[in-house]
Amino acid sequence: MTIEISFTDELTNTRYAPLAVLSAHYQQNRALQPLEEVAIPMKVRDFRAADKLTQVLLSILAGCTTLSEVNQKLRMENMLASVWEWPRFADQSSLSRTLDLLTQTNLVQLRQSTAAICEPHSQVRRHDWRGYLWLDFDLTGLPCSPKAEESQKGYFADKKTAVVGS
């Protein structure tokens, strides 16, 4: 499958073109195939359980902070849905009901599935553990001393921080 982005004569396509390309990449590499292992006991009408779990993931990637935003952001995105060979995206209430059906066993399956999806891309798993792994979780944007171990000047949007001691 060749992924191609181009202009069309149609009035609208999708405002999530990067997500459409990422979706095509996921499909080509069957990256989300482990979600098929989550056996949610539900009646299948328009979407399988794995389809709905995929749609929840896509809603996160599209910037939805809650499932209630799915109807406003993704519901009308038929072109993006067609990348996954769906006629449309599921309603947010349908996605919520599916998540409500998750049992403890399903949660274990979901945890294993997401681990199987993430592990091949994990840089931590490929880290040379003979040395240190530096993690910096300080997102405050406060300037640090030039004498701080491994300190570097960073970038914070709309903040001008002077380099101390330079």
Per-residue pLDDT of 3-58, as tens digits, reads 566 777 766 567 888 898 889 889 888 999 999 999 998 888 889 999 999 999 99
Q: Which helix (H) or strand (E) holds 61?
A: helix 49-61
Residue 137 lies in a domain: no
Max distance between CA atoms of the chain, in angstroms, equals 65
pLDDT per position as a tens digit, 65-74: 999 999 999 9
Residue 131 lies in a domain: no
Residue 71 lies in a domain: yes
**Helix extents (H) in 74-145:** 78-83, 92-100, 104-118
Residue 32 lies in a domain: yes
Q: Which domain holds residue 29?
A: 17-121
Tell the residue number behind the tokens 């794995």, with chain if given: 50
Of 129 and 143, more confident: 129
What is the rounded average pLDDT of the residues 71-91?
A: 91
Cβ proximity of 38 and 50 under 8 Å: yes
Residue 63 lies in a domain: yes
CB half-sphere exposure, 106, CA atoms < 13 A: 15
Structural domain count of the chain: 1
Residue 116 lies in a domain: yes
The pLDDT assigned to 78 comes to 87
Share of the chain above pLDDT 70, in %: 77
Residue 10 lies in a domain: no
What does pLDDT average to over the chain?
Answer: 83
Cβ proximity of 36 and 49 under 8 Å: no
The pLDDT assigned to 154 comes to 63
The pLDDT assigned to 57 comes to 94
The token pair that represents 21 in the structure block: 């390309």
Nearest to 39 by CA among 30, 28, 48: 48
Residue 3 lies in a domain: no
The pLDDT assigned to 31 comes to 92
